[in-house]
């Protein structure tokens, strides 16, 4: 069975998993999807009576999509499933454009910009399924082997 499920590829698990599925991928990018469910616990406090998805969790959905992209690349070069961990190294140029509410479906896209010194520089974007832009950002990730400093 090919590894295609999100949890086959990255170590994140509920309640800290913010990607539901992979929609598509190319050599330089990946698109994932997330449905933001009204019953998720963080909506109880952000904000009671007027719930909005926390921006930091929207950013995390982008970082997890980047980790999916990197895991697929690692597997293509011979890594074993579950070998390596994504480590966020830098975040910049975050722009929030629209809020996301319980029940919204988002498409999360990452694109590789360049690889340098063991770090992959990427751009990310979140859109609602109707095409409305939610956020854009730039970030860098290293794919590290557990228990050591080796970067894949």
Non-local CB neighbours of 9 within 8 Å, separated by 6+ positions = 3, 67, 68, 71, 72, 75, 81
For the question of residue 46 being annotated catalytic, the response is yes
Please give the full DSSP string across 2-68, using - where no structure is assigned: ---SHHHH-S--TTS----EEEEEETTEEEEEEE--TT-GGGGTSSTTS----HHHHHHHHHHHHHH
Nearest CA to 68 out of 133, 146, 144, 4 is that of 4
Q: Which member of 8, 29, 46, 79 is catalytic?
A: 46
Q: Active-site positions?
A: 46
């Amino acid at each position: 069975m090919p590894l295609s499920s999100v949890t086959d590829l990255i170590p994140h698990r509920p309640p800290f998993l913010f990607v539901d599925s992979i929609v598509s991928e190319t050599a330089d990018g990946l698109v994932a999807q997330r449905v933001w469910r009204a019953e998720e616990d963080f909506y109880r406090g952000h904000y009671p009576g007027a719930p909005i998805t926390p921006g930091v969790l929207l950013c995390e959905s982008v970082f997890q999509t980047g980790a999916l992209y990197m895991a697929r690349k690692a597997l293509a070069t011979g890594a074993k499933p579950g070998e390596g961990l994504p480590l966020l190294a830098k975040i910049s140029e975050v722009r929030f454009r629209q809020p996301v509410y319980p029940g919204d479906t988002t498409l999360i896209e990452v694109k590789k910009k360049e690889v340098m010194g063991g770090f992959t520089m990427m751009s990310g974007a979140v859109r609602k399924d109707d095409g409305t832009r939610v956020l854009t950002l730039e970030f860098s990730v290293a794919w590290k082997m557990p228990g050591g400093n080796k970067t894949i």
